[in-house]
Structures are given as structure tokens and as C-alpha cells.
Amino acid sequence: MSNTAPHILYGLPPRDLVAIPAGAQQCSPLMLGSIRLANIPPMSAQSAVMLAPPNTMERRYFLARALAALAVGAPLTALAPKDKGGSRIAAELEAFGCTVVDTSRAHHRIVSTTRPTTLHGIAEAIAAGDLQQHSTHGLWTQAGVFSWDRIDAGSALLLNHLPTFSGRGADFGAGIGVLSKAVLQSPTVTELTLIDIDRRAIMAAEKNIPDARAKFLWADVRTSDIPLRELDFIVMNPPFHDAGTEDKTLGQTFITRAAAMLETGGALWCVANRHLPYETLLEKLFSRTSLVTEADGFKIFHAEK
């Protein structure tokens, strides 16, 4: 897909709240096949429509990127639910030097502006929210990626219980590569495929794991036709939120896909929040399932196909 984008679209704004130009190119890193907003030539786009993300640093980063890509005078419409950052958009755009029109509809704040000749604080917002090596863990990461500025507690617990692996494996929802780095400490691992729906996570993981045995795949474990079969092992800390709403079926789908990709005798190591109902599905799909530990609100499963 070309990096030129006369009309920019970020996310999936409700179409009853905002008009989306025909041919607008998707720029969200969570949408497979989208282009990178950072790669659009400066001052080249004719319009932008954005469902702004809830995380403040992430939102300011993408607003700044959109303004940088727009031609002077080109319109930008940014909206979000009031309780998910929408109430802050107007002030953030004004701080960048924009004159805004702020309206409210269907629990959303909808902010319209045009790209001014002079922008303020754009470079700082981009630097703060861009791909970076974070001081807390030393890994490459980016604002908006799952657990971007710390090691997730569930992953930390799983790290303490992982065995030594051998053969071919995969990391479902690999994020920036925390689990994969541990797996690849074993010299008997021959190949490990890191899969994540977030392009930013995959880009960070590529920098965090300079190992020839690692393969990186920007894909959705739930829906993509991923060409992996007869794997020896799979590790995962599956998501259980979709757009901020708890969805137990996410992890269940990850488990189902893992069972399909493992060879007979292959192993699944999975961490989950204690309240999530994965036991029945694991017992159905695997010949042997064991609860390795429960601690700090999490549980770890080991299952053999």
C-alpha cells in the first residue's frame, strides 16, 4: 500500500457521527494492512478523521502525526467517547496551535479544526509517544502497546514458570517480545514465530529480539489464516479486552487456535486472570491439562495436545 494518503482515517469512527471521505486510507496500527501515519509525507494530506485513542500519550502522538501530515488549511476531525479521552481533545489541539470547534453528541466529543501554518509542541509529542527504548525495562516499546512501560504482572508470573523449550514454537499476542526473549534463551528452540495484531508491538519486538530463529508476523490470531502447523509449543498471555470492554471469547479463541496449530504431544503454556473461564475449553481440546500455579490474581495452565 502506498504511503501517500490524500485522506487519512485513523480507527473506526462511528459513521453516524462523522463523514469519512471516499478512499480514505486507514492508519491505525491495529488495523491489518494499514499504512503508517509516520510515513505519510509532511503537509501532503487533504483531510484526516480520527477516532482518538484513550491513552493520553498515544492520543497526542497520533494527533501530532496527523497534523504534521496535513496540508495547511486541511481539515482534521478527531472524536472519542467523553470518558475515553474525548473531553481532552480540544485542549490538546489548541496546545498544538489549532483553533477548534468542540461539539458533543452520542456520548462523544467531536472536535474539528484545520491545520494551522505554525504548529507548537509537535516534535515533543511525537518524541514522547514514538518507538523508544524504555528506562523501566530496557526494551523497545511504544505508547499504546499493551503494558508498554512495564512488564505485565501476568507475563512476569509466567516467566517464572516456563520450562526449557525445544523445536518450533509460537508466541500468540507476543507484544514487544517479553515471553519470546525468555523462550529463546534455550538453544534447542529452532524457530519461534511472534504474532501480534499491533504493528507497533511487532516493530518493537524486532528490535528487542535480534535472533535469527525469531520470525515476526503482524496478524490477528483470531481471524488470520496463519500458516503454522505441527508446532512443538505455544506460549501466550492472551487478551481479554476488546476496545476497552471485557471479552472472554478472545482468550478462548486463542486457545482454540493453539490447539489447531500444535502437533500431537505439543505443549501450551498460558497465563490468564483468575476469573477467566478457560478450564472447560482446555480440557475439551487437550489430552492433559494442569493448573501450574495461582498467584497475584493470575493462573498458569500447562496443556498437552
**Whether residue 125 is found in the same domain as residue 136:** no
**Whether residue 277 is found in the same domain as residue 294:** yes
Within 8 A by CB and 6+ apart from 238, the residues are 172, 173, 250, 251, 254, 255, 270, 272
Give CA–CA dist 26/32, Å, rounded.
9
* Domain assignment of residue 248, given as a range: 132-304
**Whether residue 48 is found in the same domain as residue 184:** no
pLDDT, tens digit (0-9, with 9 covering 90-100), for 46-69: 999 999 999 999 999 999 999 999
Domain harbouring 94, CATH code: 3.40.50.150
How many domains does the chain contain in total?
A: 2
**Sequence-ordered alpha helix ranges (H) in the chain:** 56-69, 89-95, 122-129, 153-159, 178-183, 199-208, 248-261, 279-285
Assigned domain for 149 exists: yes
Assigned domain for 1 exists: no
Integer CA distances (angstroms), 252 to 2, 34, 171, 267, 277, in order: 36, 27, 16, 16, 8
**Whether residue 125 is found in the same domain as residue 201:** no
DSSP calls for 136-166: TT--EE-TTSTTTTS--HHHHHHHTT-----
State mean pLDDT over 204-231: 94
Assigned domain for 216 exists: yes
Q: What is the dihedral of CA 246, 82, 71, 145, to 10 degrees?
A: -30
What is the model's pTM?
0.93
Domain end: 86, 113, 129, which one? 129
> Mean pLDDT, the chain, as a whole number?
94
Assigned domain for 62 exists: yes
User: How many helices (H) and strands (E) would you count in the chain?
Assistant: 8, 17
**Whether residue 143 is found in the same domain as residue 277:** yes
Assigned domain for 220 exists: yes
pLDDT, tens digit (0-9, with 9 covering 90-100), for 262-299: 999 999 999 998 888 889 999 999 999 999 999 989 99
Taking a C-beta distance cutoff of 8 angstroms, is the pair 191, 216 a contact? no
DSSP calls for 208-237: H---TTEEEEE--TTTS-----SEEEEEE-
**Whether residue 229 is found in the same domain as residue 270:** yes
Assigned domain for 48 exists: yes
**Whether residue 71 is found in the same domain as residue 147:** no
| Amino acid 251: pLDDT | 86
Q: How confident is the model at residue 1 (pLDDT cuts 50, 70, 90)?
A: very low
**Whether residue 179 is found in the same domain as residue 71:** no
pLDDT, tens digit (0-9, with 9 covering 90-100), for 124-181: 999 999 999 999 999 999 999 998 999 999 999 999 999 999 999 999 999 999 999 9
CA 271 from chain centre, in angstroms, equals 18
**Whether residue 136 is found in the same domain as residue 121:** no
Assigned domain for 2 exists: no
**Whether residue 220 is found in the same domain as residue 202:** yes
Domain end: 129, 161, 178, which one? 129
Q: How confident is the model at residue 243 (pLDDT cuts 50, 70, 90)?
A: low
Assigned domain for 121 exists: yes
**Whether residue 38 is found in the same domain as residue 112:** yes
Domain end: 95, 129, 163, which one? 129
**Whether residue 286 is found in the same domain as residue 153:** yes
Closest CA to 286 of 300, 305, 301: 305
